[in-house]
Amino acid sequence: GLVLTGGGDIHPKFYGKEDAMQLVHDVNESRDEFEFAVIKQALNNRLPILGICRGMQVFNVALGGTVIPDVRSAGYQNHGKEKGTAVDPRHDVRLEQGTVLHAIASSSQGEVNTNHHQAVDRLGQELKPTAWSVDGLVEGLEWENPQAKSYLQLVQWHPERMADFQNPLSQGLVERF
């Protein structure tokens, strides 16, 4: 399987927003290009994929989608840590019924950690949203039609570092992958 991890921002040139360079941080074009190639190979080989935070965003861009370069400047709430804070803030998410994520959580809502300043904007091809934050940001994606496709779960939060690992949006997500 393939785990796409968190990290720095995706270069805006890859999603058609070159004028947003002043809004992004820790850009690494080589990493972007490498992950696009890895995603293509994983899809060709039908590997199961779990995308975490940046991993969700880069997968979305790889399939032709875009990201919001900075959620605060776009009018959304702060989804990141305040400077000097060690613990991720948390917020509620609403889960779409009938999705794999909903089945994993056995619920239509949950609470997750958050530490990001970018978010999915326009969806990539064949993807559908599975979770939203209270302020309307997409927090989860999966295949629109998963038949004949490999397992795919993309989330904006960090299940690997949630303090309450028994939370189904943490442990359940990791175990299902």
Active site residues: 53, 158, 160
Phi, psi values for residue 93, rounded to 5°:
-130, 150
Q: Which two tokens stand for residue 92?
A: 């509620």
| Contacts of residue 149, Cβ cutoff 8 Å, sequence gap at least 6 | 46, 143
**Could you tell me whether strands 90-95 and 109-113 are parallel, antiparallel, or unpaired per DSSP bridges?**
antiparallel
Q: How many CB atoms lie within 10 A of CB 91?
A: 17
| Contacts of residue 98, Cβ cutoff 8 Å, sequence gap at least 6 | none
Residue type, 83: K
Residue in 86, 111, 114, 84 with CA at minimum distance from that of residue 168: 111
Residue type, 125: Q
Q: Which two tokens stand for residue 109?
A: 């809502």
